[in-house]
Structure 1
Amino acid sequence: MKTFARWVLAGAMVFAGVSHLFWARKEFQAQVPDLITETLPIDKDGVVVASGAVEIMLGAALVLFPKDRPRVGAILAAFFIAIFPGNIAQYLDKRDGFGLDTDAKRLVRLVFQPVLVAWAWWSTRP
Structure 2
Amino acid sequence: MSTSILRTAARWALAGLLAAAGLAHLFWLRRGFRIAVPDWATRVLRTDKDMIVVASGAAELLLGTALVTLPRERRRIGVAVAAFFVAVFPGNVHQWRTRRPAPGLRTDRARLLRLLLQPVLVAWALWATAPQERS
**Superposition TM-score tier, normalisation by shorter sequence:** over 0.9
Q: Tell me whether 43-52 or 91-100 shows the greater mean CA deviation.
A: 91-100
Q: Structure 2-normalised TM-score?
A: 0.90
Number of matched pairs: 126
* 1:29-85 CA-partner distances (Å, limit 9, x unpaired): 111111111333211000000010000000000000000000000000000001000
Q: What secondary structure is seen at the aligned counterpart in 2 of 1:96?
A: coil
Alpha-carbon distance in 2 for matches of 1:99, 1:72:
27
The letter of the residue matching 1:118 is: A
Pair 1:61-2:61 in alignment: no
User: What amino acid is the match of 2:7?
Assistant: K
Tell me the distance in 2 between the aligned counterparts of 1:37 and 1:4.
37
Distance 2:125 2:8 in 1: 12
Comparing 1-10 with 29-38, greater Cα deviation is found at: 29-38
Matched with 2:52 is 47
Q: What amino acid is the match of 1:99?
A: G
Amino acid at match of 1:84: F
Superposition RMSD in Å: 0.8
**2:91 aligned with 1:86:** yes
Larger Rg: 2
| Structure-2 separation of matches of 1:104 and 1:36 | 25
Q: TM-score, normalised by structure 1?
A: 0.97
Asked whether 1:73 is paired with 2:78, we answer: yes
Give, as a single letter, the amino acid of the residue that structure 2 aligns with 1:108.
L
C-alpha displacement of 1:102:
1.8
Find runs of 4+ consecutive structure 1 residues off by over 3 angstroms. Answer: none
Q: Distance in 2 between matches of 1:86 and 1:114?
A: 14
Instruction: Give identity over the alignment, percent.
Output: 55
Aligned with 1:99 (options 92, 97, 104): 104
Secondary structure (helix, strand or coil) at the match of 2:36 reads coil
In the alignment, the residues of structure 2 paired with residue 8 and residue 93 of structure 1 have an alpha-carbon distance, to the nearest angstrom, of 31
Could you list the runs of 5+ residues in structure 1 that have no partner in the other structure? none
